[in-house]
Amino acid sequence: MRRDLLGHPPNPITQPPPPATRPGAPPRKGTSVSTTRSITADRSGPITIDASLLGHGGTITVRAAADCERATLTITTTDQDGPAADAVRDATLRSDHGLVANVQGKGDTGGTTVITGSGRGTHVVQNFGTVTGRVVGLQIGGNVVGGNINVGGGDVFVNGVRVSGQNATIIQGSAPIEITATVPEGSSLLARTHSADVRAEGAILNVSAHTQSGDVTTGHAAKVTASTQSGDVRVEKAAHINAKTQSGSLRLGRTDVVEGSSMSGDITISDFGGTAHLKNMSGDIRIHATAGGDITASTMSGDVTVTATQDALTDDLNVQANSMSGRVNTPPRRPGNA
């Protein structure tokens, strides 16, 4: 008998995909211009959300609410036709001892393409999705622009002023896909993505998230297992954390037991107390201890910095740190400590 990713047999409670909308057709009366599918758990209480968003950009978000008795899950995109809408319509969505949502796109990460040309016929093509932070050196039609840049309706606005660059073409990509679930506290999340981000908010029991370039962000959890190639991992508070990234950073808050590794990203723990084993190649490691415990931190070329409160030092904080070519700064050992 075929079983799903959680090892459960198939359940007849399955939501069929909605009928396809003819490309370019106006929305049906009483509907919004979007493509949406929803499902409700077949039982009340904490459950596991098993969600995958592959081949398309977007976000998987699971929110634990104290007043939620029965979990609900929605897959949506603002597009009514195109790759994003097709992926939502074709997605697997079912209730089977939890809620399962599997979305498979065709490699379109969404975003916008800016094509600029010069007098010599040279063209520069830049494809990007969601850009956060500061963008430096954007050039449109030979004009270098800076400040707050917005694209809408085919026009480019810088600090609220429309910029008309010669030979500039704006091509809007497909919209992102959002998988959003509201669950009772104590529920768990199993998520897999390529470029989509994963977010767990509220009191979640276990979070297991694996991405290629998406970020993983969690609030309060008992256990977090996260791996990504170029995305960042952020955990506000968890009793047990196992996090790995290649070029992304690890930013951890309150921790008890941590195993973390990165190739070139930084590792930061802002509220340590317990046990930590951290490895890095070229990134820095920064730890602030507020309680005692054992820290093992090593990096090849990055710096290792450990700070501690007086309570942590009194509570037998033990630090073993080394770097081959970087600097190592740790609290002084208390007399009598080995």
Gap between the Cα atoms of 129 and 127, Å rounded: 7
> What are the structure tokens assigned to 84, written together?
């994003």
CB 81 within 8 A of CB 24: yes
Compute how many other C-beta atoms are within 10 angstroms of the C-beta atom of residue 45: 13
Task: Burial-class residue 186 by CB neighbours within 10 Å (0-12, 13-18, 19+).
Answer: middle
Domain ranges of the chain: 10-16+35-107+176-183, 112-172, 215-338
The kind and range of the H/E element at 310 are helix 310-314
List the strands of the sheet with 169-172, edge to edge. Answer: 123-128, 112-117, 169-172
> What are the structure tokens assigned to 245, written together?
């990234």
Gap between the Cα atoms of 206 and 200, Å rounded: 10
Distance of CA 226 to the CA centre of its chain: 10
Question: Mapping DSSP to helix (H, G, I), strand (E, B) and coil, where does residue 140 land?
Answer: strand
Gap between the Cα atoms of 80 and 155, Å rounded: 22
User: pLDDT 10s digit of each residue in the chain, 338 long?
Assistant: 544 444 545 544 445 555 544 433 444 444 457 999 999 999 999 999 999 999 999 999 999 999 999 999 999 999 999 999 999 999 999 998 899 999 999 875 555 444 444 444 434 344 444 443 444 445 444 444 444 555 555 555 544 445 555 445 444 568 999 999 999 999 999 999 999 999 999 999 999 999 999 999 999 999 999 999 999 999 999 999 999 999 999 999 999 999 999 999 999 999 999 999 999 999 999 999 999 999 999 999 999 999 999 999 999 999 999 999 999 999 987 655 54
Gap between the Cα atoms of 248 and 280, Å rounded: 11
Eight-class DSSP state of 14:
B
